[in-house]
Structure 1
Amino acid sequence: MTFDDFNCLNRRDLIQTGALLGAGIALAQPLPLLAQSGALSDVRAAALAGKDTAIKRIRDWIALPSIAAENLNMPEGAAYFAGLARDAGFTDVEIIPTDGHPGVFGKIDVGAPRTLGLYFMYDVKQFTPAEWSSPPLEGRLVERKGLGTTMVGRGSANHKGPEATFLSALHAIRAAGRTLPVNLVLICEGEEEIGSPNFRQLVTTPRVLAALRSCDGVFMPTTMQGLEGNAAVELGAKGIIELELIASGNKWGRGPKNDIHSSLKAIVDSPVWRLVQALQTLVTPDGNTPAIEGWFENVRPLTEREKSLITQAISPVTEGQMKDAFGITHWIDDLPFPDALIRLAQAPTVNIEGLVAGHTGPGGMTILPNRAVAKLDFRLVPNQTRAEAVQKLRAHLDKQGFADVEMKVSGGYDPTETDENSRLIRTAMATYRKLGIRPDLTVRLAGSWPGGTFTQPPVSVPVGRFGLGTGGYAHAPDEYLLIESTNPKVAGLVDSVMAYAEFLYTLAAID
């Protein structure tokens, strides 16, 4: 989920390109130097020999869409991934039920001194085929100017492509006749794209929890390179809550119980306006700052070290690139660019994803709707928690006189933080440097992933994301993953496979 331009941003991968929440914009060494000789030359030979199979592995997985939001192919998706895990060498692979969609658990125990945890997801976002230039389930190879040959398909970048690439590294190590240098513990969920509502239940299953607590850390395979070749090393991510607020005549006791003619607005209350009024209380009049009572009381401001990492990352061309990509001319409050980036990392948010009420088709229908729904997401920063935020939101609505406005929380989790001196982070930094890649230490992903489930009790281990290569348009049409790179600074598939192999061997050796 690293993207080639800022149009590719999604809710977990905001501002990946250029490592804008971190330090050290610099050119990487050309990738032809990467891992072509040395201790893992036999693994590289195996990765090259298995390249076609690796491409097919990604394409075949894309062909089976598991979409949690639509309850589409979820048991099939878990079973398919379980097969991929077994094929890659995992033993004791088990599909574990939850109160929602199932997860997959497996291990590889080679008796090594160190154990690495792996976080995978098998669900993907929804898609509308008519919006794609290439069929979203075919995984076609498509040339992309300035990058090379890409595979286009839902899940290619987010997140089946990087995960299948990591599995290909395990295949290459085994094909080279080697034993893995570390033990592996795998946990894969099917609800990441709906806010991981049952992930904690999965992680705290006794046999899963016992295995995870033995890990030196947990990492998520991800394409982390920008177009200049540098790779981000994240120290955290914002948390998230996804929910709906619903106003209805039935619940309110005012307004119609069914849609009625709009002429009656002269004498009948409107649940839609009721919801609009409730939404207005959540933020300041400009819509930019949460106004929920007590929302900021536990927010931890950025440290001077963290602010320094952000400002060191700013390049002369970055602001213009971002504005052009977003189609904007100003930041909030006309902030200077450094202040805008600090706010991006530091500020919790209240965002309206969508509003649904009454007639939404062509033309007018002159009705007074009986029900209105707002889909919202809330980004959380340290030291906020999901539980605290949900409680405060409900208390705020009640205090403001909107006790009738329903809250339906669909998912979410706490923010993530990992010590930059942890072995996992040092391994990522060391691996990138070993491969001639400039690592950019970043403060916090402005998007979200459920790493906090691992960093908090009862697991309490470091987390991170790692990987070479690039992709884009996650959550959007024409999502893609780079396969054959024409950019000498950015890894294609084989170099990405080798990066994961190098990471495992570095983790085994680092102090």
Structure 2
Amino acid sequence: MRKLTASVALGLALCVSQAATAKPGDPGRDKVVAAIKADHDSSIERLRDWIKLPTIANMNLNHKEGAEYMRQLALDAGFQQAKVVATDGVPGVFATLDAGAKDTLAIYFMYDVKHYEPAEWSSPPLEGRIVDRAGEGKALIGRGAVNQKGPETAFLTALRAFKTAGVKLPVNLVFVAEGEEEIGSTHFSQIVTQPEVRAALEKAVGIIIPSASQSVDGAVTLSLGAKGVVELQLISSGEKWGRGPNKDVHSSLKASVDSPVWHLVKALNTLVSEDGQTPAIDGWYENVKPLTARQKEIIAADVAAGSEADDMKVLGIKHWYKDEDYLTSQYRLAEQPTVNIQGLVSGYTGPGGKTVLPGRAEAKLDLRLVPDMTKDEAVSKIKAHLAKRGFGDIEVNVSGGYSPTQTDENSRLIKVEQATLAAAGIPMTMSARSAGSWPGVVFTGEPLKLAAGQFGGGRGGGAHAPNEWLLIDSSNPKVLGFDGQAILYADFLYEVARSTGRK
């Protein structure tokens, strides 16, 4: 459980005090809140219906259907125009809502999900079954429940409530969605850089992706950035190498025939140090920007408010790398770029053995990048590194990715997030940089240079894993259920309209 330090406890007390007198003058808020609560059952059914239609980019599943469904959801929520935007890959969606307000907020959605193995789930992954979650309340289980259809549905529910209640939205909205986030947002920039989309985004004070962000004790950590990611495959084959077989042959031939599998293993071994941890790619750290003193302060404050034991339990580990202390390990988590092997595929993988010498081997990798590294730089360096060591024949197929993102803690957007949480009585810490990734650099980088962040209340878990879940009815008064999430988004929109200052 997250431990409250004296400063955090004081912050919580102040938050509760503010919540008691929280902005009662927001025009129409009571009507919006009532509409959200009245819409509860229908909102959950809309989420379940959306979960029934999975868009899975790497399987070419429901690309057109998913985009059209997303477009209709935006229109139903009150956007005046919404259209599907074609790319060289999976289409996206662009929508606008002009409320005649002085300020504009941008919203980013992903409508795709990770694939799933039904046999690994306790209930069908596309059913959206409501189950009891011990000590927390009732949760909905389904692929996309927390990543990200659940939080996104909560945001749309807030918009629908304004529409149903006949209350004018306090801000204008620009909406962009993609169907390729789970494969590295390969073509998303093609959407954002279209003149009409870019012109609309340029008016925004910032952009958020809805998220279920509360911990088990109700606290929220606001992330000020995220590592970039590159997903790629390294493929070794007898055909490309010119050595070894161009198909699987009998393993007895290993004495006189080269192995493409060992060739790949030897290549992989050059990418990291002897302990298998620190990247050893030539020039890998050339553009790595160290953490600032302020970023270290933010990480230290977050660690002080957290629980090392809980983190280890969730991860199923007993040691950090090099047996480092909790704080040092979290510094490393934020500032070190990584080379990770997701999977190795070659030859026979069924029950028992099969005496073959495979003609092909593949390693699935992801590279996590920190400022000021870039996706193109990382790909170029790994190719040059392999070629220099005699592995130039190994194919490097990049399937997606993007550079890291960073947002100033003093930006208007982050201040609005903080003020919204304070008014709701939700304790908060900040994270200097998430070790996970999202394509925020499309917005924070050139040419838009928008502040960007993930925001929301409520709880969920199991993203990318079996039994993914979102809390619907919370038994913990410190944690928001689904309706509370939607109300928090409504309050966030009011807070944007009330705020002033630079972007």
| TM-score bracket for this pair, using the shorter chain length | over 0.9
Where 1:431 maps in the other structure, the secondary structure is helix
Summarize the Cα distance change of 1:124–1:284 in structure 2 as closer, same or farther, 3 Å threshold: same
Unaligned segments of structure 2, at least 5 residues: none
Give the whole-Å Cα distance in 2 for the aligned partners of 1:117 and 1:327.
Answer: 37
Aligned residues: 493
1:325 Cα deviation from its structure 2 partner:
2.4
Confirm or deny that 1:226 pairs with 2:200: no
Q: How far has the Cα of 1:327 moved from its partner?
A: 2.2
Contact 2:112 2:182 in 1 (8 A): yes
Which residue of structure 2 lines up, in the alignment, with residue 496 of structure 1?
A: 485
Structure 1 partner of 2:169 = 180
Partner of 1:157, secondary structure, is coil
Match in the other structure for 1:434:
423
Q: One-letter code of the match for 2:474?
A: S
Aligned ranges 1:132-171 → 2 under 5 Å: 132-171=121-160
Partner of 1:78: 67
Following superposition of structure 1 onto structure 2, how do residues 54-133 of structure 1 map, counting pairs within 5 Å?
Answer: 54-133=43-122
The DSSP-based 3-state class of the residue aligned with 1:133 is coil
- The whole-number CA distance in structure 2 between the counterparts of 1:189 and 1:124 is 11
Structure 1 116/336 Cα, relative in aligned 2: closer, same or farther at 3 Å?
Answer: same
Q: Provide the C-alpha distance between the structure 2 equivalents of 1:340 and 1:162, rounded to a whole number of angstroms.
A: 30
Classify the secondary structure of the residue corresponding to 2:144: coil
2:237 corresponds in structure 1 to 248
SS of 1:312's equivalent? helix
Distance 2:112 2:126 in 1: 14
Which residue does the alignment assign to 1:10? none
How far residue 442 of structure 1 moved from its aligned partner, in angstroms, is 1.4
Where 2:334 maps in the other structure, the secondary structure is: helix
Residue 24 of structure 1: CA displacement? 4.7
Mapping 1:234-313, distance limit 5 Å: 234-313=223-302
2:303 aligned counterpart, secondary structure = coil
Distance 1:70 1:30 in 2: 47
Task: Provide the alpha-carbon RMSD of the alignment.
Answer: 2.0
Structure 2: distance between partners of 1:252 and 1:24: 59
Q: Corresponding residue for 2:191?
A: 202
The structural deviation recorded for 1:245 is 0.2
Superposed counterparts of 1:313-328, under 5 Å? 313-315=302-304, 318-328=307-317
Q: TM-score, normalised by structure 1?
A: 0.93
* SS of equivalent to 2:167: coil
| 1:187-208 C-alpha deviation (Å, 9 max, x unpaired) | 0000000000001111111111
Give the TM-score, by structure 2 length: 0.95
Identity %: 54
CA offsets, 1:195-231, max 9 Å, x none?
A: 0000111111111111111111111011111111111
User: 2 CA distance for matches of 1:150 and 1:36?
Assistant: 29
Mapped to 1, the partners of 2:238 and 2:163 lie a distance apart of: 63
Measure the CA separation in 1 of the matches of 2:249 and 2:426.
Answer: 63
The 3-state SS of whatever aligns with 1:411 is strand
- In 1, distance between residues paired with 2:427 and 2:140? 26
The residue aligned with 1:449 is 438
**Separation in 2, partners of 1:434, 1:166:** 18
| Map of 1:401 onto structure 2 | 390
The alignment partner of 2:331 has SS state of helix
SS at 2:466's partner residue? coil
CA contact (8 A) 2:284 2:381 kept: yes
In the TM superposition, what whole-angstrom CA distance separates every residue of 1:80-135 from its partner, at most 9, and x where no partner exists? Answer: 11110110111221101100010011000122111111100110000111111011
Counterpart of 2:223, as a letter, is E
Aligned to 2:334: 345
Long gaps (5+) in structure 1: 6-16
* Partner residue, 1:13: none
Residue 302 of structure 2: SS of its match in structure 1? coil
Identify the match of residue 355 of structure 1 among 329, 338, 344.
344
Q: Relative to 1, partners in 2 of residues 1:116 and 1:35: Cα closer, same or farther, differing over 3 Å?
A: farther
Greater Cα shift, 342-351 or 308-317: 308-317
Task: In structure 2, give the amino acid aligned to 1:387.
Answer: D
Question: 1:326 deviation in Å?
Answer: 2.1
Q: Determine if contact 1:30/1:488 at 8 Å carries over to the other structure.
A: no
1:304-333 Cα deviation digits (max 9, x unpaired):
111111112224871122222222221111
